[in-house]
């Protein structure tokens, strides 16, 4: 029953977003405002994780939504509205990274203080921090595919549409990103374990 309710809500949301795009194409500012309020938080989170440029996230989100304003009539309807909008955001973020020559060469692993806590909440928090630090060494494409998969819940087909690549490329990126994290997390955790002993 819960699954059915969720599917009905998703369909209603998709229908509403398509209506908003039609109104935006007719230059309805209130429709744009509503879409902005729905998408700004999702886009900001996605772009923060993808680009690691927190200082430019709002600018990229606004650029993305400006493209939506300008190109709403170009939406063909062969994907979900969210897939189309996330694809625009992905390309805008990637273009920013390319322009700044920071794409795959960045590897920033900030040091943090050692923690001597062993309770489950602290360990979960530490694991989240280690994953965050390890993900900083991933390419923007790998960070994007993980964010779209695990945090935003998109399917491989939707991610392929967003990123403009084949589904198998998405699956390969998820595989390599997860393997890279699996390798890095123990390495990053090793100094902590030594300090706790």
- Would you place residue 13 in the very low, low, confident or very high pLDDT band (cuts 50, 70, 90)? confident
pTM higher than 0.85, yes or no?
Answer: no
Position 77 in a domain: yes
Among 37, 68, 103, the domain boundary falls at 103
Structure confidence at residue 67 (pLDDT): 95
Residue 3 sits in the same domain as residue 81: yes
- Decide if 97 is inside a domain: yes
In sign, the C-alpha dihedral spanning 106, 182, 157, 16 is: negative
Comparing 99 with 61, the larger pLDDT belongs to 61
Residue 5 lies in a domain: yes
- pLDDT reported for residue 133: 81
If you average pLDDT over residues 68-80, what whole number do you get? 91
Residue 169: both structure tokens together: 């490329």
159/141 Cα distance (integer angstroms):
11
pLDDT tens string 27-55: 999 999 999 999 999 999 999 988 888 88
Axis crossing angle, helix 167-196 with helix 156-163, rounded to the nearest 10: 100
What number of residues does the chain have?
A: 197
Most confident of 77-91, 103-117, 143-157, 177-191: 77-91
Least confident interval from 11-25, 60-74, 104-118: 104-118
- Domain coverage including residue 123: 115-197
97-150 tens-digit pLDDT: 877 754 344 444 444 444 444 556 666 677 777 778 888 888 999 999 988 988
Q: What is the spatial distance between Cα 43 and Cα 74, in angstroms, rounded to a whole number?
A: 20
Q: Are 16 and 97 members of one domain?
A: yes
């Amino acid at each position: 029953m819960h699954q059915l309710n969720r599917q009905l809500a998703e369909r209603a949301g998709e229908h509403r977003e398509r209506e908003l795009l039609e109104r935006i194409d007719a230059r309805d500012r209130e429709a744009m405002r509503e879409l902005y309020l729905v998408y700004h938080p999702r886009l900001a989170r996605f772009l923060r994780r993808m680009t690691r440029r927190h200082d430019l996230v709002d600018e990229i989100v606004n650029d993305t939504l400006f493209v939506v304003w300008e190109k709403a009539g170009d939406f063909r309807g062969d994907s979900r509205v969210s897939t189309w909008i996330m694809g625009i955001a992905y390309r805008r973020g990637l273009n920013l990274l390319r322009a700044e020559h920071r794409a795959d060469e960045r590897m920033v692993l900030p040091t943090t203080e050692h923690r001597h806590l062993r309770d489950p909440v602290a360990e979960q928090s530490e694991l989240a921090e280690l994953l965050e630090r390890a993900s900083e060494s991933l390419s923007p494409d790998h960070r994007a595919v993980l964010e779209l998969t695990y945090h935003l819940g998109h399917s491989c087909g939707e991610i392929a549409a967003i990123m403009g690549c084949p589904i198998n490329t998405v699956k390969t990126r998820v595989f390599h990103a997860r393997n890279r994290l699996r390798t890095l997390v123990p390495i990053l955790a090793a100094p902590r374990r030594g300090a706790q002993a």
